[in-house]
Amino acid sequence: MGVYYGGMGVVVASVLARIVGSSVIVIAYHLENDISLKEIFPKEMIRLAFSCVVALLFSLLVYHYFYEKISFYILGPVSLLLFVFIVFPFNWFHPMRTQIMKWLYSAKKDK
């Protein structure tokens, strides 16, 4: 990848290799222990993952469109805020957030 795409190709290839390698381990574990693959990706997680992909694509599109026109010091935070605004609602209404908050409150009461 580095020969064709330079340093960015190496970074992308290493990230993809980590994702695929980790996925193989998780899927193999679930198959070996007869755990349904639906437990890996419940509906809420699929929505969250989809929102992250959409937010990433929009952020990259904005970044590449304005790359030559706006300073990096403005464009970087704008891209980050765009990502956060797209992903935040899916995180806020995710059922695991309420479960984590319950765990934190109960741990605080126990002290």
Residues 25 and 56 in one domain: no
Residues 52 and 86 in one domain: yes
Q: Can you give the residue range of the structural domain that contains 60?
A: 41-111
Q: Tell me which DSSP letter residue 33 carries.
A: T
Alpha-carbon gap, residue 9 to 13, rounded angstroms: 6
Residue 19, token pair as written in the block: 């994702």
Alpha helices in 33-94 (DSSP H): 43-66, 72-92
Across the chain, what does the average pLDDT equal?
Answer: 86
pTM of the model: 0.63
Residues 102 and 53 in one domain: yes
Residues 17 and 51 in one domain: no
Query: Is 41's pLDDT higher than 80?
Result: no
The DSSP H or E segment spanning 38 is none
Residues 76 and 35 in one domain: no
Query: Is 80's pLDDT higher than 80?
Result: yes
pLDDT at 2: 67
The amino acid that residue 8 corresponds to is M
Residues 45 and 90 in one domain: yes
Residues 86 and 108 in one domain: yes
Residues 11 and 60 in one domain: no
Q: How many other C-beta atoms can be found within 10 angstroms of the C-beta atom of residue 83?
A: 20
- The number of angstroms, rounded, from the C-alpha of 18 to the middle of its chain's C-alpha atoms is 14
